[in-house]
Amino acid sequence: MELLVDSYGRRIKSLRISITDKCNFRCTYCMPAEGLPWLKKAEILSYEEIERIARVAISIGIEQIRLTGGEPLVRRDIPDLVRQLRKIEGLRSLSLTTNGILLKQQAGALAEAGLTRINVSLDSLVREKFAKLTRRDQLARVLEGLEELERYPTIHPIKVNAVAIKDYSEEEVLDFVRLARRKAYVMRWIEFMPLDADQIWRKEDILTEAEYGPLVPITTGDPSETARRYTFSDGRGEVGFINPVSEPFCATCDRIRLTADGQLRTCLFATEETDLRAILRSNASDEDLAKAIRQAIWNKELKHYIGDKRFKRANRSMSMIGG
């Protein structure tokens, strides 16, 4: 089989699929308090359509799929989708990114359906701060969801992702570090990116890794690894930093994204999309779909230009893309 590569020679292996634009949180750095104009049901890809795109993408070289949103667990019967995707030959990894609020009820069904990796977004361990940021007073339920996950060792690792925001995240760094040492959670801080619907992002709000103390680096040799990973001198626990703004990893980016309404995006900050939904719904063949995916990948952007005069904000916020 030919490898999937773009015009800069990057090998593309990973597909992030947003299965809904809706979310039950209203994180201030992502969505306005009143939400966004949601997509209509007919605009959203059905599970059959998602499965078909995934199958075609895997047949031409995609190896990893991550389900995201919006909040993916608000869409009904997601274990059914997981089960269908799991069956596709050639899929090496199937993961989910969630805010965790519905995990207590759904972790068991997801594990049983064949989910093997998970990222839970959690920006604060302090109830009031969490409530203010997400505009939902639900920290306890997220922590319960994480505990529930621990009962299903086939879902591994359990990653906890926090957006690092200046004057917000600093005081809790050690609490998160302690959590990563006490529990089997891998902790990641991700820099705040200009993908918020309210356009509040300012470069000064990014909290960079330099603020944290020295740790022992972990190297895997995987060039597409986005996180700088560290363990502690006694080897217990892992933390990491994902620095798309201060240290862009575009040169080794192996990702593409499918939005809930079937648009293929080859960069988080893309200003153009490929309408796979229109192709799907025009009775096209799998070969036609494969051709469109290959073509979009070939045209993948060189880099995102944040901090450069050439930077243009994407026309969608993170929740509308699928983070």
Subset of 79-98 contacting ligand SAM (CB under 6 A): 97-98
Distance from CA of residue 180 to its chain's centroid? 20
Cβ at position 150, least distance to ligand SAM in Å: 18
Number of residues that bind ligand SAM (CB under 6 A): 20
Closest CB to ligand SAM among residues 185, 280: 185
Instruction: Report the DSSP beta bridge partners of residue 264.
Output: 258, 274
Residue 70 tokens, joined: 């919006």
Closest CB to ligand SAM among residues 111, 163: 163
Q: Is 318 in the site for ligand SAM (CB under 6 A)?
A: yes
Binding segment for ligand SAM (CB under 6 A), chosen from 4-12, 67-75, 110-118, 261-269, is 67-75
* Residue with smallest beta-carbon separation from ligand SAM: 323
Cβ at position 122, least distance to ligand SAM in Å: 8
Cβ at position 295, least distance to ligand SAM in Å: 27
Q: Is 115 in the site for ligand SAM (CB under 6 A)?
A: no
CA distance 44 to 51: 13
Which x/- pattern over 188-227 shows residues binding ligand SAM (rule: CB under 6 A)?
--x-xx-xx-------------------------------
Q: Is 14 in the site for ligand SAM (CB under 6 A)?
A: no
Q: Is 68 in the site for ligand SAM (CB under 6 A)?
A: yes
Closest CB to ligand SAM among residues 173, 280: 173
Cβ at position 71, least distance to ligand SAM in Å: 4
Closest CB to ligand SAM among residues 97, 124: 97
Closest CB to ligand SAM among residues 15, 30: 30
* Residue with tokens 């998970």, as numbered in its chain: 118
- 100 closest CA partner among 70, 144, 135: 144
Cβ at position 280, least distance to ligand SAM in Å: 23
Q: Is 134 in the site for ligand SAM (CB under 6 A)?
A: no
| C-alpha distances in Å from residue 320, one per residue of 68, 191, 257 | 10, 19, 11
Contact positions vs ligand SAM (CB under 6 A):
23, 29-30, 68-69, 71, 97-99, 121, 161, 163, 190, 192-193, 195-196, 318-319, 323
